[in-house]
Structure 1
Amino acid sequence: MKQYVLQRFLQMIVILFGTSFIIFFLFAILPGDFIDSNISLTPQRAQELKSLYGLDQPILHRYLNWLGNALHGDFGYSLKHQEKVLSLLNKYVWNSFFVAIFALILTWSIALLTGVLSAIKQYSWFDGAVTFLVFAAMSFPSFFISLLFIKWFGVDLQILPIGGMIETGSENTGVSYLLEVGKHMILPVTILTLLSVGSLTRYFRTGMLEVIRLDYIRTARAKGLKERVVIFKHALKNAILPAITLLAFELPGLFSGAIIMEQIFNWPGVGRIQLESVSFRDYPVLMAFTMFLSCLTIIGNFLADVTYAAVDPRIRLR
């Protein structure tokens, strides 16, 4: 097991460096930058700024400088916001992270429970209701469901805030502040959960249906084990194996999907900064955020492989 983990860890490091080069190279060959898009600068001043920030140097030299600085926690300087990129992202990324992590926990909890119960009660009214709700949630666009929930719960019933992270002019601190933020998180987290839970529920249902028909499940039942033990101790352990791989893509996917949610609900997250950076060609911010998502994906794959190997010993022998 230790040798397998070490091998996967070294592969992860190599992939991280390779990904960083690809990301930097793609952004480097894009036409124009923040300086070029600023029409108020004279050609002489624009050239001075490019020389100052090293934008007139060869791509490989710029990449090595950027990589060396990034390893020391310096991802460049945002010309749009006049602030270091790491400091800028640190202000907003945690707001997005809390929404994403709560949505992830709810998505997997609901999908696991409903998927297993739907498989156990195949063709029942519960299975039919779950199938209908799953496809209904997957069919509607995210902005439509968001606006619909805002109208229902924010405008008509007036029980939930329709946007922002706190009330305008709020001076709450401590527990009161956390409760206020939590209330504002309900709608964004609910929408992200609805958009993600459908496909994952079908995945768990299909996996469980395949497992409960296997011979060792029939043997476990023939031994007189309780149905609860057969399902949740024997069947679920093998049915959940393929879903472990999906976990590596869930968190980066939620960060990406939250960009639309943050615009609709006016949530002060990193998605808004990313959209502004695209508009103003603020490439240092875009590179840092893209690298952040790539790191989440690569680290998630590493953890998924290790978890998979821990659950299924056959993986370690290949």
Structure 2
Amino acid sequence: MRFPALVRALGRALLLYLCVLTLTFTLLRLAPGDAATFLVPPGASASDAARMRSELGLDRSTAVQYARWLRESLGGQFGTSFVAHRAVRAVIGDALPISVALGGLSLLLSFVVGTGAGLLQAARRGSRTDAALTVASVVVVASPAYWLGLGAIACFTYLASSWDLPMMMRLPAIGMSTPGATLHGTARLMDFARHAILPVSLLAAIGAGGVARYVRTGALDAMGADWMRTARAKGATEWRVFGHHLAGNLRAPLLTLFALAL
């Protein structure tokens, strides 16, 4: 990406961020009540509510509140969580590493599986394998993610426990570590992997469905190109045609799709 295009992209991202901040601020001010009403205990006097509004800065003008909102948001100061009673940045920081790990693993797995499935569909166009993978990808992409999540939890957590299946098939539905367990080294890594199997597999399946359809379409379009016929005419095997020539031709659009997914 050239530098001017990068600057324009960053400018659009900053403008979008400012629009989201402004819209959020406006909607919060249009909602009935305010944060002070939520925080003061039931039966609190009017003076207690006024003191709480003063501590939160809600007694200042809208312009001053908006300027403070922008300044603190752009500076990464998101205030204190009313539920966790901790700094919002600390709450996000605790969950961010796990979210990045799950998202990164599922993204990589979705592209690996999706690319392989798409190439297999193109190589066996019109076969039962192609039909089965097409139906599976359409169902996964079209189904709401929470339906798939609930179904996976029901199968691999509750039913697996009810039917007394092997431990490796009983996948935890919540958390990323066994509660109360003190594990170190390889045991801790294996415990994390066991907890990550269900969310990573589900997220990867959803992403792989879209990637497979994209790769299948691109591969079928390329199969009729002159360079494909030339490769076959020179005696290249089908595995080399698909694994080297066709996969290499799809590398650039797949990298673009991967960058957009990030």
TM bucket (normalised to shorter chain) is 0.7 to 0.9
Determine which of 149, 152, 157 is the counterpart of 1:150.
157
Cα distance in 1 between the residues matched to 2:259 and 2:50: 43
Partner residue, 1:110: 113
Partner residue, 1:280: none
Structure 2 length as normaliser, TM-score?
A: 0.78
Partner residue, 1:258: none
Structure 1 residue ranges (4+ consecutive) displaced by more than 6 angstroms after TM superposition: none
- Contact 1:66–1:76 (8 Å) recurs in 2: no
Cα distance in 1 between the residues matched to 2:227 and 2:29: 56
- Contact 2:176–2:195 (8 Å) recurs in 1: yes
Gaps of 5+ in 1: 251-299, 301-318
Gaps of 5+ in 2: none
Aligned Cα RMSD in Å? Answer: 3.0
- Point out which structure has higher relative CO (alpha carbons under 8 A, 6+ apart): 1
- Contact 2:58–2:65 (8 Å) recurs in 1: yes
Q: What pairs up with 1:51-130 in 2 under 5 angstroms?
A: 51-130=54-133
Partner residue, 1:284: none
Cα distance in 2 between the residues matched to 1:83 and 1:77: 5
Residue 52 of structure 2 corresponds to residue 49 of structure 1 = yes
Cα distance in 1 between the residues matched to 2:107 and 2:86: 31
Residue 172 of structure 2 corresponds to residue 162 of structure 1 = yes
- Contact 1:154–1:161 (8 Å) recurs in 2: no
* Count of residues in correspondence between the two structures: 251
Listed one character per residue, the Cα deviations across residues 263-285 of structure 1 (whole Å, up to 9, x for unaligned) are: xxxxxxxxxxxxxxxxxxxxxxx
Please give the secondary structure, in 2, of the residue aligned with 1:83: coil
Q: Do the aligned partners of residues 18 and 135 (structure 1) sit closer, same or farther apart at CA in structure 2, a change above 3 Å counting?
A: closer
Partner residue, 2:212: 201
Please give the secondary structure, in 2, of the residue aligned with 1:78: coil
Partner amino acid for 1:162? P
Partner residue, 1:217: 228
> Rg bigger for which structure?
2
Listed one character per residue, the Cα deviations across residues 215-266 of structure 1 (whole Å, up to 9, x for unaligned) are: 343344445555445434543455455555654664xxxxxxxxxxxxxxxx
Q: Do the aligned partners of residues 71 and 114 (structure 1) sit closer, same or farther apart at CA in structure 2, a change above 3 Å counting?
A: same
Partner residue, 2:5: 4
Give 1:85 deviation, angstroms: 0.8
Listed one character per residue, the Cα deviations across residues 158-180 of structure 1 (whole Å, up to 9, x for unaligned) are: 42343332223211123322221
Q: Do the aligned partners of residues 195 and 59 (structure 1) sit closer, same or farther apart at CA in structure 2, a change above 3 Å counting?
A: farther
Q: Identity of paired residues, percent? A: 26
- Contact 1:34–1:79 (8 Å) recurs in 2: no
Give 1:46 deviation, angstroms: 2.3
Please give the secondary structure, in 1, of the residue aligned with 2:176: coil
Give 1:69 deviation, angstroms: 2.2
Q: Which moved more, 1:77-86 or 1:152-161?
A: 152-161
Q: What pairs up with 1:221-232 in 2 under 5 angstroms?
A: 221-225=232-236, 227-232=238-243
Listed one character per residue, the Cα deviations across residues 137-158 of structure 1 (whole Å, up to 9, x for unaligned) are: 4548221232122234444314
Please give the secondary structure, in 2, of the residue aligned with 1:77: coil
Give 1:115 deviation, angstroms: 0.8
Q: Do the aligned partners of residues 15 and 130 (structure 1) sit closer, same or farther apart at CA in structure 2, a change above 3 Å counting?
A: same
Determine which of 162, 172, 176 is the counterpart of 2:183.
172
Give 1:78 deviation, angstroms: 1.7
- Contact 1:204–1:240 (8 Å) recurs in 2: no
Q: Do the aligned partners of residues 37 and 15 (structure 1) sit closer, same or farther apart at CA in structure 2, a change above 3 Å counting?
A: closer
